[in-house]
Amino acid sequence: MKVLKFGGTSVGSAERIKSVAELIGDGQPKIVVLSAMSGTTNTLVEISDCLYKNDRQKASDIIQNLEQHYFDTISELFETEPFIRKSKEFIETIFTYLRSFVNKDFYPLQEKAVVAQGEIMSTTLMHYYLEERGISNSLISALDFMRIDKDCEPDYFYIRQNLEREMAQSGIQPLVITQGFICRNAYGEIDNLTRGGSDYSAALIGAALKAEEIQIWTDIDGIHNNDPRIVEHTQAIRQLSFDEAEELAYFGAKILHPSSIQPAKKERIPVRLKNTLHPQDEGTLITEKSPVKNIKAVAAKDGITAINIKSTNMLLAYGFLRKVFEVFEAWKTPIDMIATSEVAVSLTIDNTAHLEDIIKDLEKFGTIEVDKDLSIICIVGAFDAHKSGLGAQVLNALEEIPLRMISYGGSEHNISMLVNTADKNRALIALSSHLLS
Ligand code: ASP
Ligand code: MG
């Protein structure tokens, strides 16, 4: 059994839904996880924003336009009257539900229910379309098996048990369709796995069922060795290890949700990134081990803030770093990079929601300086502790770029550099021209 996930652009129009149906309707057993049609989740978030602000007219107008978009898609997608009628009736129920929020007070919990409708619509339309084409399939609701616990972590036990039950109840269909992104929380309320979370859904489903492979279908031919929006002539990487893919996804390769590697890695299930526009392309294969020599890929993450703590108390003291880390723990703020000297420590964060509180707490320990608008450049390659030269090549390539921080040796497959965001493009181009061509 394979799990195949198709992203928003892959199901973004009637024509694209038809091509996906073509791909998945080959009779091989599989579970298909779908995102919402591209643009829908953003629109649902926009509707929610209007409702928070009490801008009811604007919310109604956006709802109206979105509904029309779905009616147009239905007219293009289906050929027979019963399916056109059935689909329209279904879309009408969804929009009646959305309209029911317009004249009420609006809460975050309701926003979760509103944004969930995108995946509910895309999967139902796919289910009906396959039926119209005579391809037998069943639709199961992610709300009946996907669940996060009180810490917003997936509840593996619940997911496995409930998914197995749902699969058994759906009969022995070779093709099962379900929603990505949406889930229930520990209290049984509708929730989600955060934006872009459909990849994560696919990985969790794959891990729960010990699938043979998890395929993530987008419209690029895999993870590229540099950011194709910034650097010309980037190339798709054919093979990556779970560790390498995790670093690249976390540090900026937009193609994959960073959490989605973990479940696959845990169960050792290969993840393959495929392109719906070129289904024959091999894409990128992510497995436990992958060949690596020199530099394999670079990726960058913006919006980084560095915090520097200078203190003479740190000199020859133990327990100092623990106190510093406890501040970040208390404010639930993950740290990405760290550099230390004997009298100072610099660390980076990307979530600045509690920056003011963190600074206030850190001031007890020393002098604090904060730098904003920074980017982390992650370089994945063979940084084997017993080999020389590669680190020097990276530094040489970045000769012209001011470096704010360097992290080397945390793992053998990656080094990270902190630069001003204003210098990021130059840095990425220099790394490609010196090391990747
Ligand atoms: N539809 C959701 C989003 O746009 C989830 C996803 O596409 O992965 O964030
Ligand atoms: Mg995505």
295: which residues sit within 8 A by CB, 6+ positions away? 379, 380, 381, 390, 393, 394, 431, 435, 436
Comparing 14-18, 172-176, 212-216, which segment has the lowest mean pLDDT? 172-176
User: What is the number of the ligand 1 atom nearest to the C-alpha of 201?
Assistant: 8
- Pocket perturbation via mutation, ligand 1, pick of 6, 35, 117 by most ligand atoms within 8 A of CB: 35
pLDDT at 316: 66
Residue 188 has pLDDT above 70, yes or no: yes
Task: Count CB neighbours of 81 within 10 A.
Answer: 8
User: Bridge partners of 319?
Assistant: none
112 CA to middle of ligand 1, Å? 13
Mean local confidence (pLDDT), 114-126:
98
User: What is the number of the ligand 1 atom nearest to the C-alpha of 118?
Assistant: 1
pLDDT at 315: 67
Q: Is 366 in the pocket of ligand 1 (CB under 6 A)?
A: no
Mean local confidence (pLDDT), 59-65:
98
Mean local confidence (pLDDT), 45-52:
97
d(CA 322, CA 331): 14
User: Bridge partners of 320?
Assistant: none
Q: Is 201 in the pocket of ligand 1 (CB under 6 A)?
A: no
Mean local confidence (pLDDT), 123-144:
97
Q: Is 181 in the pocket of ligand 1 (CB under 6 A)?
A: yes
Give the CA angle between residues 388, 394, 397 to the nearest 5°: 135
pTM for this entry: 0.91
pLDDT at 271: 97
Mean local confidence (pLDDT), 62-66:
98
Q: Is 263 in the pocket of ligand 1 (CB under 6 A)?
A: no
Q: Is 6 in the pocket of ligand 1 (CB under 6 A)?
A: no
Q: pLDDT category, 319, cuts 50, 70, 90?
A: confident
| Ligand nearest to the CA of residue 118, numbered in listed order | 1
Q: Is 116 in the pocket of ligand 1 (CB under 6 A)?
A: no
